Amino acid sequence: MKLSTYLLETPERNGVPRIFGNPGTTEIPLVRACEQRRKLRYIVALSEVAAVPMADGYARATRTLGVVNLHVAPGLGNGMGNLYTAGIAGTPLLVLIGGQDRRFLHTNPILWGPLEKMAGSVCKAVFGLNTRFDAAANVKQALRTALTPPYAPVALICPPDLLEQEIDAVPARVTVPAPSALSAEDARRYTRFLATAKKPALIAAEDVHWNNAGAELEKLAMALGAPVYAAPYTGVLPIASRSPNYAGYLPPSLKQIADRLLPHDVLFFVGGRGLRTTLYSEARLPQRKAWIGNSPDMRSADGEFELACIADTNEALKQINALVKPGAKRKSALLRPAVAWPARPGASLHPSRAIHALLARFRDAIWVDESGLSTSDVRQWMELPAGEYLINGSGGIGWGLAAAVGVAIGCGKRQVVAVIGDGSSLYASEALWTAAHHGTKLLLIVLSNRRYATLNAAAGRLAGGALAAFTIEPPVLDFSGLAQLYGWRHLQAATERELEASLKSLGNRLQANTVLELKLDPALQPVTASRHF
């Protein structure tokens, strides 16, 4: 068969039904082969900046491998910021990169570039298709590497001249190394370690999502009466926020984390590679610590781990749960910290009251959150199942809108809600086209404060006050124009009454992709705004 067919049929036989990408001449063999397949679909994004988070959001929400196709050097360059994000959040992505036709590569044709070097800076491994003899083995190896934890993007460079050649290979399922459990002795060690704790805390991150370990984590938390915190910037909610032991996301500041964890004597990190924080702050974490997770690249923010094992977190927690003395099921006393509920402000729409109302209205939806300074409000009140709240995870904004489109394509029957800051919504807004083209029914809530309010909050700390550069008006951005450009419905609300009317007009289930633009008074801060720095 042609290598292009093999390249598509191998992921297809391994459960991949979609490839996201922005194609060019080098992708013509691939796109043509895709159009001849019955199941596999090539989902066009209008830029690589949108294609990568679409594949990432799709992968996270469906807990499967995402595949994205990028066009030679500039296309790969456009995708790199969001490949970085996928790597930090630990998403399994196979990145098919169009190489140049090797017959004239020595002439430096347009779009040529150091693909290996570029991809190598944001992918955990880079493979190439070099000859018809190594091609099948390298396709399988790239796929196997992408499916093997720790998850991250894996690149496969695909020169189109080779894709047209016949190879002698049969597509098949690849064998992925089985996830490892703890040794019996290590399982006992963790259990003894937890038994010495008076007030343990569990800190969960992405591995819990990918290993499907939320239920085992909840079981351990119940047995220990320990709260479960999500590590700061965890890209997918690792445990149900309805759980009686869920204690919220840790704030992205070491000082605030230290304050929050002060009542605890033992910290058990389940998954992840450490604590991702925003600005430098001075603080100690004097607690005894243990870690378990998928990546050898883990680090302790302060002090050292007494125990650390690389293992599948679901298997490991099962083993530990089998050994933990079955105590009475205990709820944690330490839950999300209370906040003062804001009074209704005259005619304006308070951002916290708006978020609260929207969470109540769409409590059964999957949420994608890049709402800037409102993010901590969303986390304060959300009551969502594990895996159904997604953020970029890296701090790299411009991911959320396109990721939500990927989530909506992956979870066709579910309502998806994206809540995005006005600034963040404009990095890859062309993703709206892909949603319209595929008839998703996404709700995009744009928080229009005409500011980079998060940066002003940081400037308050670092520069003594807001900076002119962080005001993004004039002109006043009118999102109805954006909605119209891409064939989306547009609603807007500047008061609580208008918000109520908008929600009413949406009905029980959205009938069309809708932008709901909330016109906010920038003087009104989210009630949890101080948690960001």
Ligand X SMILES: Cc1ncc(C[n+]2csc(CCOP(=O)(O)OP(=O)(O)O)c2C)c(N)n1
Least distance from ligand X to the Cβ atom of residue 452, Å = 4
> Which residue, 406 or 421, has its beta carbon nearer to ligand X?
421
* Residue 72 near which of ligand X, Mg ion, none (CB within 5-8 Å, type-dependent): none
* Residue 519 near which of ligand X, Mg ion, none (CB within 5-8 Å, type-dependent): none
Least distance from ligand X to the Cβ atom of residue 396, Å = 4
**Angstrom distance (rounded) from CA 264 to CA 250:** 14
> Which residue, 440 or 454, has its beta carbon nearer to ligand X?
454
> Which residue, 259 or 473, has its beta carbon nearer to ligand X?
473
Token look-up 């990546």 returns 295
* Residue 373 near which of ligand X, Mg ion, none (CB within 5-8 Å, type-dependent): ligand X
Which pair of tokens denotes residue 3? 């290598």
Least distance from ligand X to the Cβ atom of residue 351, Å = 8
* Residue 454 near which of Mg ion, ligand X, none (CB within 5-8 Å, type-dependent): ligand X
Least distance from Mg ion to the Cβ atom of residue 452, Å = 6
* Residue 342 near which of ligand X, Mg ion, none (CB within 5-8 Å, type-dependent): none
Which residues, other chains included, contact 239 with Cβ-Cβ below 8 Å and sequence gap of 6+? 204, 208, 214, 217, 218, 221, 228, 230, 245, 246, 386
* Residue 309 near which of ligand X, Mg ion, none (CB within 5-8 Å, type-dependent): none
Least distance from ligand X to the Cβ atom of residue 425, Å = 7
**Angstrom distance (rounded) from CA 237 to CA 384:** 9
Residues lying near ligand X in the complex (CB under 6 A) are found at: 81, 372-374, 395-398, 421-424, 449, 451-455
Least distance from Mg ion to the Cβ atom of residue 469, Å = 13
> Which residue, 217 or 419, has its beta carbon nearer to ligand X?
419
Give yes or no for a contact between 428 and 53, defined as CB atoms under 8 angstroms apart.
yes
Least distance from Mg ion to the Cβ atom of residue 484, Å = 21
Query: Where does this chain touch Mg ion (CB under 5 A) — which range of 173-181, 350-358, 423-431, 493-501?
Result: 423-431
Residue 246 main-chain phi, psi, to 5 deg: -70, 125
Which residues, other chains included, contact 527 with Cβ-Cβ below 8 Å and sequence gap of 6+? 339, 340, 341, 342, 352, 377, 380
Residue by residue, DSSP assigns 352-416 as HHHHHHHHHHTTTSEEEEE-GGGHHHHHHH----TT-EE--SSS--S-HHHHHHHHHHHTTTS-E
Least distance from Mg ion to the Cβ atom of residue 521, Å = 12
Least distance from ligand X to the Cβ atom of residue 98, Å = 24
Least distance from ligand X to the Cβ atom of residue 435, Å = 19
* Residue 81 near which of Mg ion, ligand X, none (CB within 5-8 Å, type-dependent): ligand X
252 binding Mg ion? (CB under 5 A): no
56 binding Mg ion? (CB under 5 A): no
> Which residue, 136 or 358, has its beta carbon nearer to ligand X?
358
423 binding Mg ion? (CB under 5 A): yes
User: How many CB atoms neighbour CB 185 within 10 A?
Assistant: 7
Coil vs helix vs strand at 166 = strand
> Which residue, 330 or 450, has its beta carbon nearer to Mg ion?
450
The DSSP H or E segment spanning 249 is: strand 246-249
Among 418, 478, 425, 426, residue whose Cα is nearest residue 442 = 418
Cα dist. 436→88, 255, 480, 492 in Å? 29, 44, 15, 19
User: How many CB atoms neighbour CB 40 within 10 A?
Assistant: 18
Give yes or no for a contact between 505 and 481, defined as CB atoms under 8 angstroms apart.
no
The site map against Mg ion for 393-422 (x = CB under 5 A) is ----------------------------xx
* Residue 159 near which of ligand X, Mg ion, none (CB within 5-8 Å, type-dependent): none
Give yes or no for a contact between 522 and 422, defined as CB atoms under 8 angstroms apart.
no
> Which residue, 51 or 453, has its beta carbon nearer to ligand X?
453
Q: Total binding residues for Mg ion by CB under 5 A?
A: 5
Query: Per CB under 5 A, which of residues 437..466 are in contact with Mg ion?
Result: 449, 451
**Angstrom distance (rounded) from CA 91 to CA 111:** 27
- Is the peptide bond preceding residue 150 cis, with omega within 30 degrees of 0? yes
Cα dist. 17→43, 141, 281, 332 in Å? 10, 19, 45, 41
Residues that bind Mg ion (CB under 5 A): 421-423, 449, 451
